[in-house]
Structure 1
Amino acid sequence: MRPMLAAGESLSFTLSQELTVIVLCALTALISHLALAVFNDGVRPFLLDFIRGGSTRGATAAVSFGLSAGFIFGLGAPMALSTGVLNPWLLFLPTDVLGLLAPRRWLAPLLGAGWGAIVVFALGGANSAAHELPVDFLTAMQEMSTPILFLFTLFPVLAIVRQFGRVHGAVAGVIELVLVVMTMKLWPKMFAGALAMAVGVLMLIGFAVAQDVRRRREERAAAATAPGTSAATPAAAETSGADDPMASLFSANALRLRRHLPLFMLLGAGVCLLAQMHVFGGGEATSFLIAKGDHSGAAQVDFYRVFGFVPLIATTALASGAYGIAGFTLVYPIGYLLPSPYLAVVCGALVFAAEVLALSAIGRALGRLPSVRDSSEHLRGAISDTIELAILFGSLMAANTMGGGLGILIVGGLYLLNEAMGRKVVRMAAAPAAVLVGGVLLNVLYWLDLFTPIKS
């Protein structure tokens, strides 16, 4: 297995990597066609209606495309071209759409394999051609790495502020800042935000668990003081749970997923194997870390993200009967760290098996821990906000690198125009897309002798 390409070099893959991408895209398209799993969290709730026959395949595919197109072309493609690392928006969002769109089961894996082939064979050519242009906007996009990596470190602080207030957030912010400075001073080879993020996430979970424990104690105390309720409460709760139609639906959907356990194990093996090859990053910050060869840092970042997505994926899977293509995303950090592709295949399969089998138990646990469940929502919102700001700031830095004030005018103007038009492109993808369009436009101006590229 060859070492990972550095950011900015040509995208090229070994035969084993090409085959892995193509086969995995075929598999994810087939699973999407069967409505067993999709990558886009926003599409998953629509699948219950499709599974029950209340929505057509074409209508569901149209929803998937509408929710995914901006991320594919505005985030997935620019991130892959600028880092030299593949990502889930580029690979799995298109196979969501292709799988749902395919009218026949046999056609879905063929369409998915075709997309995988386009990615591994055509992306490298586009990358090489872009680097030969007078205005090399792909190299300029590497300016995005610093704001993404460092601002991403703050997402636990934002989540703590939103859930537990300014005092808790201020304490967490000071602690994270101290840890970042300490890490940069004492362990310069380590990703500076790794320890700070770990402590921030642990603080958030600790606050949430403490709040849930305190609430349960208060409820028990109130129940104990209420006459005639303590003995009847457990039985009433059990009866209520047995008659709950949502509990029945969750149970049926969990059983549906368990019936396809071998297919999910194959999916987990494939995703973990791709992560182990170090040509794939599960997130924005992760892609840059993988590109720099910092696999342990990438594993830490993606591991912390898991806490924000387990409740969302578990509850939507139980409610819709469709799982996530990457599961709880635990296979990402595991794959980055494993030394052998064979171990990756085995571990990925076992992790997915454990996740699918544990869905019902996770759903029940989340029902008893409302503050922990709320924490995941605050984490996801904080991740989105920090990444949006980091990508916007990084995109303006890239615009300045490739075109100075004119570059900032074009890229910033396109971003603001998108905002004024009601966000035709989702905010997170709008800025990278503006850099690509701005880079093309600056090259056109150069060929018209109206612009002189800035010397690096």
Structure 2
Amino acid sequence: MAADAGLDLSLPQQLTVILLCALTALVSHMALAVFNDGVRPFMLDFIHGRTTRSATTAVSFGLSAGFIFGLGAPMALSSGVLNPWLLFLPTDILGLLAPKKWLAPLLGAGWGAVVVFGLNGANEVAHDLPVDFLTAMQQMSTPILFLFTLFPVLAITKQFGRAWGAAAGVVELALVVLTMKVWPNMFAGALAMAVGVLLLIGLAVRRDLVQRKADREARAKAGRAAGSGGGEGAEAGARAEAAAPAPPEDDPMASLFTSSAARLRRYLPLFMVLGAGVCVLAQMHIFGGGEATSFLIAKGHISEAAQVDFYRFFGFLPLIATTALASGAYGIAGFTLVYPIGYLMPNPVLAAIAGAAVFALEILALSSIGKVLGKLPSVRDSSEHLRNAIGESLRLAILFGSLMAANAMGAGLGILIVGGLYLLNEAMGRPVVRMAAAPAAVLVGGVLLNVLHWLDLFTPLKS
């Protein structure tokens, strides 16, 4: 894996990270985009001057700190691949924190420099310790990759019931076994995830089509019933049917969505530069858009990584679109479609062109996407179930992988420390978010085991 060779980046890669961090801090300062989906709804009050920069910064820090230090840093150190929690959540905070526009990109560039130069040093120091907890954390890759495969099954079960969920589970298991047997060089979950997501989308579209047909028949039946009541009843029924679908002209949400989309379109060139930068970073294969993606890229499974992040795109599109239209602030990675496109691009020039084009299309189509999502309720619900299923599968996978890492670095004592820290975090009301609590516990546990070794109270396991 990449972590075995350290986190050495070439000069072009270092410059790309630093410049992109500077750019993301600038757009955050301008309240044009943030990476944290939880922060985006708060941006509306900031844009309209109803809250202060310092208050918005505090919200961003509170919602992001756990992910930065508990998930972003451990994932980067264990996989050897950078991730958006490590790069873009800090630039959200630094951009909002900067009191002056010119200072924001300087702070962002400074963070990028810390990442590209400091992370490699931390990696080398950690690998030289008696208890090498970074190598142990690579144990997380197997449960993350394989349990992540089940997210379509969870989404189908939640939305369409146990029968469909059980059928999807059997199909995915059979496809995983088939892939391992017939195509051993392919990531075993790739085909299974593809079929699961297609089944979910197919079921959602089918439900929407059936519901539309039922609605049309109901309206036709109501019209016939009104017509049988006489001329006046027919005329009244026709007037009611014609008037029913017309939305109110003074709809406040429609007005807000229109103004937010127009605000983002005014900065289209800047967004195109942002899209180009994110896509180029992905093309360099030093960056992964998610937990599973990071380990796939570290293992050299680039096409499978693109596949995984393509599914994330479906899960997060409705959330990003609606929060962007409601707040006037977009996502740093847009709808995240630039990730899989970037992985597959043959060179940085084509990646930059593709990323700029994708962001331009996303910004220009934002209002239309919002309207389409409003007409496909089941598909919109599927995206929410997909997003929740991704979170649930990864939470279990990360916890299980963290315990495997604890066992690798300290056997029973390691499990006691890491599991105990995770349970303590739960008992204290989760001051560290659940997704990040287990990897953070591994880092703390690794430090404690090294301290115990130096006190001659613990003998590291032989590798």
TM-score when scaled to structure 2? 0.96
Partner amino acid, structure 1, of 2:284: M
Q: CA deviation at 1:440?
A: 0.3
Deviation (angstroms), 1:442: 0.2
- Which residue of the partner structure matches residue 43 of structure 1? 39
How does 1:401-412 map onto structure 2 within 5 Å? 401-412=408-419
Structure 2 residues not aligned, in runs of 5+: 227-235
Contact 1:223 1:229 in 2 (8 A): no
Percent identity between the two aligned chains: 78
Which residue in 2 is equivalent to 1:69? 65
Question: How far has the Cα of 1:7 moved from its partner?
Answer: 2.8
Q: Which residue of 2 aligns with 1:145?
A: 141
Say whether 1:7 aligns with 2:3. Answer: yes
Tell me which amino acid in the other structure corresponds to 1:85: V
In structure 1, distance between residues paired with 2:349 and 2:165: 43
Q: Which residue of the other structure, out of 12, 16, 24, is the alignment partner of 1:20? A: 16
RMSD: 0.9
Q: How does 1:259-338 map to 2 (within 5 A)?
A: 259-338=266-345
Structure 2 Cα separation of the partners of residues 82 and 310 of structure 1: 29
- Write the distance in 1 (CA, Å) between the matches of 2:381 and 2:53: 33
Q: SS at the partner of 2:245? A: helix
Aligned match of 1:109: 105
**Aligned equivalents of 2:139, 2:176: Cα separation in 1:** 20
Change in Cα spacing, 1:229 to 1:320, as seen in structure 2 (3 Å) is farther
1:218 is aligned, of 214, 218, 231, to 214
**158, 161, 173: which is aligned to 1:162?**
158
Which protein has the larger Cα radius of gyration, Structure 1 or Structure 2?
A: 2
Q: Which residue is 1:367 aligned to?
A: 374
What displacement does 1:9 show?
Answer: 2.3
Counterpart AA for 1:182? L
- SS in structure 1 at match of 2:99: coil
Q: Secondary structure at the match of 1:237?
A: coil
Deviations 1:31-86 (A, max 9, x none): 00011100000000000011111110000000000000000000000000111100
CA separation of 1:449 and 1:378: change in aligned 2, threshold 3 A: same
**C-alpha offsets along residues 302-346 of structure 1, whole Å, 9 cap, x if unaligned?**
011111000000011011101000001111011111111100000
Give the deviation of 1:231 after TM superposition: 5.1
Give the CA deviation at 1:235.
Answer: 3.9
Q: Output the CA distance in 2 between the equivalents of 1:47 and 1:291.
A: 35
Distance apart, 1:216 and its partner CA: 1.1
Q: Which amino acid aligns with 1:78?
A: P
Secondary structure (helix, strand or coil) at the match of 2:457 reads coil
Matches within 5 A, 1:170-189: 170-189=166-185
Give, in whole Å, the separation in 2 of the partners of 1:365 and 1:140: 46
> 1:267-298 CA distances to partner (integer Å, 9 max, x unpaired)?
00000000000100000000001111111110
* 2:241 counterpart residue number: 233
Cα 1:230/1:293, change in 2 over 3 Å? farther
Instruction: Provide the rounded CA distance (Å) in 2 between the counterparts of 1:215 and 1:132.
Output: 62
Once superposed, which parts of structure 1, at least 4 consecutive aligned residues long, lie more than 4 Å away? none
1:8–1:138: 8 Å Cα contact kept in structure 2?
no
Distance 1:234 1:247, change over 3 A: farther
Structure 2 letter corresponding to 1:130: A
Cα distance, 1:234 vs. partner?
Answer: 4.0
Deviations 1:77-133 (CA, angstroms, capped at 9, x unpaired)? 000011110000000000000001111100100000000000001100000000000
Q: For 2:196 and 2:416, how far apart are their aligned partners in 1?
A: 37
Structure 1 length normalisation: TM-score? 0.98
Rounded to whole Å, the distance in 1 between the matches of 2:111 and 2:242 is 54
Q: In structure 2, what is the Cα distance between the partners aligned to 1:178 and 1:115?
A: 45
How big is the shift at 1:233? 3.0
Query: Which of 429, 438, 462 is the aligned partner of 1:431?
Result: 438
The CA distance in 1 between the partners of 2:153 and 2:239, in whole Å, is 42
Structure 1 residues 126 and 453 mapped into 2: Cα distance closer, same or farther (>3 Å)?
same
Match of 2:404 among 389, 394, 397: 397
Question: Which residue matches 1:253?
Answer: 260
Matches within 5 A, 1:380-395: 380-395=387-402
CA distance in 2, matches of 1:404, 1:444: 16
